[in-house]
Structure 1
């Protein structure tokens, strides 16, 4: 039986990558109800010092973290042989290392405060199967997230911690990085036009489902595709 999401009311959730502009979050915060609070904390997930600073701000000003949703990421729409070393490093730093660093620090925080929290990695179907060469090293970074999810699950179990970890792997989602990208390459657009598209709300629903499960249930992997 799925429990109401209400069990997380009053808890602290950190979501990375939901907007690159602070003013967008601040605007959304104004529409929150009296029981809801939304804070914009600017941080570059590719820089460890900024991650640590942001997490400290959250703990000092809002409280210890109960939910971490790792959704910050970047996708490359080009061939591997056309990708610069700088772009490769940026993709790895954000999609893999940044995710790993913030996850490590949040687990430490949960452990210190004895919190039975939940960590969710926004993965991709490309983290399970490579369907085209047109994504450069992006699938490799998402395959890494798949492995990191299982590695963390095993480690949390070995430590006896009741912290859940879930990988949510959507297919093509309409975002500013994909179908809403004004600078999208013609060949990428042609490929996207052939794929059923998901909406951001579909991914949100999957996250809410994972968060709503009973204490003894852990959703390890959720895969979403369009019809």
Structure 2
């Protein structure tokens, strides 16, 4: 199998939750690979700072202020992308928030926020990306940033409905694959499930548990995404789990 990013040079990639952590690392790495990255996040000032870090002559980061929990924001972002950048070739659904509290004492509004971002926001962005790909006859690639919590329940302090939201992402990735196959579309779907990653989303009490163990960096996940995108058109990495060699979980 020959790995190459050549097919994506100059193409449009959308990365949600791109203002920090995994999203920022992915946006930078894809731009460095020559892609034109539409970086979506609520904190546009951070996106603008990120865009200044690009040294690639071909790649570029385009900051777009958008809250993926609001459908109108996502629709407006994809409208801007269509008018200013062109067809979407790659979507990285990275935006996500963690749990807060437990199921026994949690707040329903907090639970709803998790599902609006981690599940519904992902669904809306996916729908719009696939719509763009189909309209423009693009054999694109959708990547969901999932979690090992989307496959196994751990004793995470105050994780609340977060694992449930990630189990939903696992199901959504497979449901999308089945739908794409039924339509005979050559759009790839990958569910990428990291272990513990040193990002803003990780709970402080969980970070204390992990502090003497290995923990992944955001750049490790960016490297994994480049690997997935580098596969030949006939190869689909359906599920990829990436975790530290020595992990407390």
> If the length of structure 1 is used for normalisation, what is the TM-score?
0.93
Which of 146, 150, 154 is matched with 1:131 structurally?
154
Of the structure 1 ranges 78-87 and 66-75, higher mean CA displacement relative to structure 2 is found in 78-87
1:67-216 alignment to 2 at 5 Å? 67-132=90-155, 134=157, 135-178=159-202, 184=204, 187-193=205-211, 195-216=213-234
What's the offset of the Cα at 1:31?
Answer: 3.2
1:30 corresponds to: 52
CA distance in 2, matches of 1:103, 1:215: 20
The yes-or-no answer on 1:46 pairing with 2:30 is no
CA distance in 1, matches of 2:214, 2:241: 14
CA distance in 2, matches of 1:38, 1:108: 22
CA distance in 1, matches of 2:2, 2:153: 33
Q: Deviations over 1:173-203 (max 9, x none)?
A: 0011216xxxx3xx43433336531000110
Q: Deviations over 1:28-56 (max 9, x none)?
A: 32232321221000111011111100100
1:17 corresponds to: 17
What's the offset of the Cα at 1:78?
Answer: 2.8
CA distance in 1, matches of 2:104, 2:212: 24
CA distance in 1, matches of 2:152, 2:213: 15
> If the length of structure 2 is used for normalisation, what is the TM-score?
0.85
Give 3-state SS (helix, strand or coil) of 1:40's partner.
strand
> Would the aligned equivalents of 1:77 and 1:188 in 2 still touch at CA under 8 Å?
no
Any unmatched runs of 5+ in structure 1?
none
Q: Deviations over 1:152-188 (max 9, x none)?
A: 0000000010100000000000011216xxxx3xx43
Q: Structure 1 residues 84 and 28, CA, compared in 2 at 3 Å: closer, same or farther?
A: same
CA distance in 1, matches of 2:87, 2:139: 12
- Root-mean-square deviation over aligned CA pairs: 1.4
CA distance in 1, matches of 2:45, 2:69: 21
Give 3-state SS (helix, strand or coil) of 1:109's partner.
helix
Choose between structure 1 and 2: higher strand proportion.
2
